[in-house]
Structure 1
Amino acid sequence: MNETTSPPPRPAERLPVRAPLVTEPLGILASLRAARRNLLEIIPDLATRVPMVSGRTGARWHMLMEPGAIREVLLERVDGYPKSMVTKNMLRPAIGESMFIAEGAHWRWQRRAAAPAFSARNVGNLGPIMAGAAGRAADRIDAQRGHAVDLFEEMVTTTFDVISDVTFSGGEAFARDAVHRAIDGYIAEAGRISLFDVLGLPDWVPRPGRLRAGGLVEMKSVADAAIDDRARRGPREVPDLLDLLLAGEDPETQRRMNIGELRDNLLTFIVAGHETTALTLSWALYLLAFDQDAQERARAEVLSGVAGETASAAEVEELPYLRRVVEETLRLYPPAGIVSRTAQRADELCGREIKPGDTVMIPIYALHRSHRLWDAPDAFRPDRFEEKPQRYAYLPFGDGPRICIGAAFAVQEALIVLATLLKRFRFTPVAGRDPEPVMILTLRPEGGVWLEAEPL
């Protein structure tokens, strides 16, 4: 070989699992089948290469992948684009008019009243609870040594352990197993899109599957009993989330949540607070097993920065590479893979006409894999987050005034659990058992995340 000969090409980069996006237009029935099987399958592959895609499937819809237009919807014209009726139809039977669903002034006062509960100080004070749950998870995994472990199931247990303790301090009145069963049952029965949704029928037309969703009465009664129990006993010495919300007051109106509002918001935090973090942890462990070099780098950082068997909130603040792993996980597998809004008035986005009643979707899964916005968008590269991404190109927690109130809580919990597990185990994939990204309400690893966990 002489000095001018080109070097051999680098081998193609291995890519983690991804959802198959649609390459042909879908009719109404095909769209319904795809949406009930996996919502990601209604996203056109074209959405990863262009700023906007529009169509009609019963009702007019638009998908936005242009950060400037997304900013208009989520920030500048937020009142003109409330959450879609499809979203509200799915969730209202479970969480009522909580701040996740409420709009306008009713949303604003609830948000202001709840905000102090999620201050940096209060979230940091919850670190020991998260560390305790992480330690128990490590012990359960260790007890299964020699066998493959479904880390998705383990992480669901772990994060529900956390959210139930930070919400109700493990009170006797809180039957966590009953609430857990009810949440899973509701997601399974009610989270799937109805033909009525696809056809754009009004929200007052009942959706049969949601009427049959079981566990709601039990879930709400359990929450009511726990709230009543706390009201009688008084606040804890170290306030938990229920204490903070009971004491919460809108500084502008001095309004406090009544029992129904308190219950609906607590159930919102329980559903969102454990499901989304469990998914982030599960996908992160899958990716670290997929990329052993990244896992070893993260472990080396943990071993040098975490003194005890479990990580603390203060320690994980000093683990920048592990944080980038979490950020890249949320890019590749955002728990809310699609968010949708309903246009209230005539508008224009990306030079295209928007009519009142149109559904405007932000397919976050496609946005995070856009070839226009990301280099090698399907690759797992945590170091891309050494630089801050373009605003409104990265939306794992949404943005604008309705950005997720529990984002800092979720990231801290994920870092504490991951650091604790990496310090005790080396994770490797199980051949032939890759998870499949499937979204119903959230982006879950269908089939579980099966890994070998070798004690260190």
Structure 2
Amino acid sequence: MDQTVPNPPLPVQVPLAREPWGIWKSFRVARRNLLELIPELALRQPMVSGRMGKRWHMIMDPGANRRVLRDAVDDYPKSDVTKLILRPAIGESLFVAEGAHWRWQRRTAAPAFALRNIQNLGPVMTLAAERSVDRLAASAGRATNVFDEMVTATFEVISDVTFSGDEGFDRSAVHHAIDNYIAQTARVSLLDIIGAPMWVPRPARVMSSGALREMKRVADGAIEARRKTGARPVPDLLDLLLEGEDPQTQRRMTTAELRDNLLTFIVAGHETTALTLAWALYLCAFDQTVQDRARAEAQAVLGDRPATAADLPSLPYIRQIVDETLRLYPSAAFLARTAQKPDRLCGREVRAGDTIMLPIYALHRNHLLWPDPHRFDPNRFADPRAIDRFAYLPFGDGPRVCIGASFALQEAVIILATLLARLRFAPVPGKEPRPVLILTLRPEGGVWLRVDPV
């Protein structure tokens, strides 16, 4: 009698490429889901190279990642395609700028994201978590798109910590303008695939400029209004950036520079955290044993109150769930750089002009780095020191590591702990999400779960 135990089911994955494709098929696949361009071989190799218009290299090796992101960071600036997609929306802000222009902005903005300031913003996150529980509880017993709810909750947080005084700032209009921009312009163009010069217009990106101009005008007005009214009793992000000054040059941000960076923080500060929370709830519904353990931890710490920033050290398993979620479904699942000079990575020649891709999705599932990499197992992060920091890059690393990483992690743990302490999440048959990378790794069709009170 066959006693073989069947392999347990795995959470949803992206179907990776099993054969090389030509330019036209690659374009069609990239428009559908950029991650499907990753060859399956990337899950078992440290580096994969090829040519499509220009030479490219995908890196899944911690040592090579360290060189690109930290040791030789100036030799590997963000790719032209990345800048072309993002610059119309966020200008020469921290996410796009390079060299000295990036450095002075980073020095100016860094104090705003000091741990003390992030913890001071905790009450906003706690309040958003409480409201989210109330909204989800109202849909008890029904299938609910928890991704939509997490977008609502995290946008409440980022708008409250960015423009707490409102000053005529139309939050809904900004939210819709950002979503529309991503939907229209963040998909790869055929001109990007064939390596056309950046000065050749990409029609979809040109057509979206009107909504962006209006969004920037509204943001500029809110910034100028705050300059006149002064800081809030508890400074928000806008107050902190208005007071920011480069300690080396004493330079302060202009209204346009402030606006571009604030719009960057608004996009990154709600979209990525909402995705992390939605994927985490999907995974907790997928594995009820994990969910039960997390709920027991949250209830023991919180009782019947929402989580606060002060609770984070007492919620280690929920933080492990967040970390493992970011491993399986990293919001920034694909990074691209352009080599500025000849180099060697993984013993292979790199030429000036080559595209260097860091497919974080493949790195986090590489069999050389992670045992049983497609399995959901928060225990991997019981001792974070055991993990090579350049094998796990949900926020990048090196000098350009995400400035808001601590903000995002604090928010994710506060909201997830509060939800799991009071609500139970279960899968909806036939409604599995499909991971699709446009600008971030989104669940196509949403994350539909049954929600019930505990």
Residue of structure 2 equivalent to 1:419:
417
Q: How does 1:92-171 map to 2 (within 5 A)?
A: 92-171=87-166
Is 2:271 the partner of 1:275? yes
Tell me: CA distance 1:444–1:170, structure 2 relative to 1, closer, same or farther (3 Å). farther
Q: Give me the TM-score of the superposition, normalised by structure 1.
A: 0.97
The aligned counterpart of 1:446 is 444
Q: Is the 8 A contact 1:178 1:218 kept in 2?
A: no
Which residue is 1:431 aligned to?
429
Instruction: Return the alpha-carbon distance in structure 2 between the equivalents of residues 420 and 349 of structure 1.
Output: 44
Equivalent residue, structure 2, for 1:367 = 363
Q: Distance in 1 between matches of 2:138 and 2:213?
A: 36
Number of equivalent positions: 451
How big is the shift at 1:427?
Answer: 0.4
1:108 deviates by 0.4
Please give the root-mean-square deviation of Cα atoms over the aligned residues, in Å. Answer: 1.2
SS of 1:305's equivalent in the other structure is: helix
Q: Which position in structure 2 is the counterpart of 1:243?
A: 239
The residue matched to 2:216 in structure 1 has which SS? helix
Q: 1:407 aligns with which of 405, 408, 430?
A: 405
Structure 1 position 391 matched with structure 2 position 389: yes
- Partner of 1:179 in structure 2? 174
Give the AA of the match of 2:289: D
Counterpart residue type for residue 285 of structure 2: A
- Taking the aligned partners of 2:151 and 2:305, their CA distance within structure 1 comes to 21
1:319 and 2:325 matched: no
On the 8 A contact 2:308/2:414 being kept in 1, the answer is: yes
Matching residue of 2:29: 34
Opposite residue 441 of structure 1, the aligned amino acid is L
Amino acid at match of 2:429: A
Give the Cα separation in 2 of the matches to 1:113 and 1:447: 39
What's the CA shift for 1:10?
3.9
Q: Within 1, Cα distance between the matches of 2:308 and 2:380?
A: 26
**Alpha-carbon distance in structure 1 between the residues aligned to 2:228 and 2:425:** 46
Instruction: Kindly state the Cα deviation for residue 362 of structure 1 after the two structures are TM-superposed.
Output: 0.4
> 2:6 maps to which residue?
11
* Aligned pairs (5 A) from 1:214-293: 215-293=211-289
Cα deviation, 1:196-242, whole Å, max 9, x if unaligned, reads 11111121111111001252012111211110111111100100000
Structure 1 residue runs of 4+, over 6 Å off?
Answer: none
Tell me the secondary structure at the aligned position of residue 317 of structure 1.
helix
Identity %: 65
SS in 2 for 1:162: helix
- State how far apart, in whole Å, the 2-side matches of 1:172 and 1:262 are: 16
Which amino acid letter does the alignment assign opposite residue 330 of structure 2? Answer: P
> In 1, are the aligned partners of 2:339 and 2:355 still within 8 Å (CA)?
yes
Q: What is the CA–CA distance in structure 1 between the aligned matches of 2:411 and 2:165, rounded to whole Å?
A: 18
Structure 2 distance, partners of 1:152, 1:390, is 30
**Cα gap change, 1:308 to 1:118, in 2 (>3 Å):** farther
Shift of 1:11: 3.3
Q: Could you give the per-residue CA deviations for residues 26-85 of structure 1, whole angstroms, max 9, x where no partner exists?
A: 111111111111010000000000010011111111000011011110011000000000
TM-score by length of 2: 0.98
Task: Give the one of 16, 36, 53 matched to 1:58.
Answer: 53
5+ residue gaps, structure 2: none
Could you list the per-position Cα deviations for residues 169-192 of structure 1 after superposition, in whole angstroms to 9, with x for gaps in the alignment?
051411100000000000000101
Whether contact under 8 Å (2:165, 2:232) holds in the other structure is no
Whole-angstrom distance in 1 between the partners of 2:155 and 2:221: 19
Q: Indicate the SS of the match to 1:31.
A: helix
The alpha-carbon deviation at position 95 of structure 1 amounts to 0.1
Which residue pairs with 1:330 in the alignment?
Answer: 326
Give the SS at the match of 1:428. Answer: strand
CA distance in 2, matches of 1:307, 1:402: 39
> 1:9 Cα shift?
4.2
Aligned twin of 2:190:
195
- Alpha-carbon displacement from aligned partner over 1:236-290 (angstroms, at most 9, x marks no partner): 0100000000000111111110111000000000000000000000000000000
Gaps of 5+ in 1: 2-6
2:292 aligns with 296
From 55, 76, 82, the equivalent of 1:81 is 76
